[in-house]
Amino acid sequence: MLNAELSPRDDDLLLVIDVQNDFCSGGALAVPDGESVVPSINRLAAKFAHVVLTQDWHPPGHQSFASSHPGRRPFERLPLADGEQTLWPDHCVQDSHGAAFHPALRIPHAELILRKGYRRHIDSYSALYENDRRTPTGLAGYLRERGFRRLFLAGLATDYCVLYSALDARRQGFAVVLLQEACRAIDLDGSLDAALAAMRSAGVELR
């Protein structure tokens, strides 16, 4: 189905992942072409009665920052207690300009803004669980309590926060549709292809 024909039901929700300045051109962790999702997401959001936004929201000195590990550089991988951490440039620091939503994002009817990644010693790609895959953000409970059954995903980045959100949502029993024209990827070492394959095999509908 073309997105132009999308007509969401009342138990559908649009989940917009991390459309923040730091993931757009000029930002600290710019996703190639990241800001180009904004007009698509604005158009999509207007069709949905129910929209939730997420915001990557790290304290200074966050474990995911290469700058927190002397001698390490961004995009290196570091084994840590809860598994491997990809190290990133400092990004989405709480209350900074980089952490703010892209100024052209226009979704006044969004019902919830969920912040994640605020614990210094654990990263949180997914909107539902932190990267230990055990610590809940509370979003799954919120969505269930409100009766949503199907989540449409859009935002940044396809191969990190969108991917982890999609997999956790499937794990929690939600139907998931990935709106590809409204997502962009970081694509480190083939991570976009791997992400699409993982989502497909988890039963995510790629649209």
Residues that are catalytic:
18, 116, 161
Name the binder of 18 from ligand VGL, Zn ion, none, CB < 5-8 A by kind: ligand VGL
Should residue 161 be labelled a site residue for ligand VGL when binding is judged by CB under 6 A?
Answer: yes
Binding part of the chain for ligand VGL, among 74-82, 95-103, 153-161, 194-202 by CB under 6 A, reads: 153-161
> Which one, 50 or 62, has the nearer CB to ligand VGL?
62
Should residue 88 be labelled a site residue for ligand VGL when binding is judged by CB under 6 A?
Answer: yes
Should residue 101 be labelled a site residue for ligand VGL when binding is judged by CB under 6 A?
Answer: no
Please give the Cα distance from 62 to 92 (Å, whole number).
10
Please give the Cα distance from 45 to 109 (Å, whole number).
9
CB 126 within 8 A of CB 167: yes
Subset of residues 114 to 143 that bind ligand VGL, contact rule: CB under 6 A = 125
CB 151 within 8 A of CB 15: yes
Should residue 130 be labelled a site residue for Zn ion when binding is judged by CB under 5 A?
Answer: no
CB 99 within 8 A of CB 57: yes
Please give the Cα distance from 35 to 31 (Å, whole number).
8
Name the binder of 161 from Zn ion, ligand VGL, none, CB < 5-8 A by kind: ligand VGL
Q: How many CA atoms lie within 13 A of 41 on its CB side?
A: 34
Please give the Cα distance from 107 to 113 (Å, whole number).
11
Should residue 56 be labelled a site residue for Zn ion when binding is judged by CB under 5 A?
Answer: yes
In whole angstroms, the minimum distance from the beta carbon of 140 to ligand VGL comes to 18
Positions in the binding site for ligand VGL (CB under 6 A): 18, 23, 56, 88, 125, 156-157, 160-161
